[in-house]
Structure 1
Amino acid sequence: MSRKYRIRDQDKLYFVTFTVVEWIDLFTRREYRDIFLDSLRYCQEFKGLDLCAYCIMSSHVHMIIGRNGEQPLEGLMRDIKKFTSVKILEAIKASSTESRKEFLLWYFGKAGRANPNNTHFQVWQQHSHPIELNTNEKVSKCLHYIHQNPVEAGIVLSQEDYLYSSAANYAGLNETLIDVILIE
């Protein structure tokens, strides 16, 4: 792993990206997005995750995260990926309406067999490329990038209209899916 992408200071905020293997559009289903949000809520409440910003796109998730407990950020990211992988795979296997069931299980199985760290399935790419946000300029750029993602993708015209993003939190709207710690 490149030195550029290591977490050196556990007390800083980091911009991270979780990407589905092969950039598969997994998060087109609400059920899978909700599994991801449930994992974040759990880590906020019980594991010391400070979630400052997020955006769940179809094939990846961007976040600005920190910690307020003893668990290292690498451990928090590992736990989120592990939990969501297991729960999403369970949901796919149990679904009677998932039209892409065979396709998703085949790709996740192929990725898992190709990775010596796995034995069966792999949902997430291994790297998360954490970037330390050690200046106000980096924080502003990453926050803008995260919230503009669905606008740039042509999903919404205004960033606060995208439901699976913290842009509504930053716009001061009452209807948000998860609490975040606003960066000032």
Structure 2
Amino acid sequence: MRKAMGRVAVAAGVVLLVAGCGSDGGSDKGGSAATTGGSASAGSAGGAEAGGEDLTADAVKTEIETAATGAGFVQDATGDPVPAGLETCMVSWTADAEKAADPKKSYTDTVGALGKGGWKTGRTFSQSGSTIQTLTKGTWQLKASDHSMGMLKMVMFIASDTTPECEALFKADLEKNKKS
């Protein structure tokens, strides 16, 4: 129970950081490859303009899963699911960091494998032993987060499609949840 509550708290923080992590904060190690979020980064031509690829949520999930499992992670079946209605615009993959021999190394290796797979490295944000790395490919933006330094061992990969259609779905979901 305690582990689950901690995960929810960290996941909520990551979601807030993902939602608010635009052009401010963090360090820009990616130079001009770093994105600033929003529909301007996606471009009106979609994947062709932003990275030459039209990726589906299933393809993004497969790339994350392949990189993460190749780096020594197994998926945590208790990870947060993608909200209903956003399945084509968002991917969430949570590693069971407690089962990894070295979660920090597995995280670094996963990010490296994604980079070799065409994901462009953008901003990195590090604070209090946690690291969040932004990567982009096509119209997709991925937040790879490592919170494995303390007692709570958690590694998550959350990707979202930045097309105007998906942004409209995200906004509608946010508005719906504000009313709940």
Greater relative contact order (Cα < 8 A, sep 6+): 1
- Rg larger for: 1
- TM-score bracket, shorter-length normalisation: 0.3 to 0.5
Please give the TM-score of this superposition, normalised by the length of structure 2: 0.34
TM-score, normalised to structure 1, is 0.34
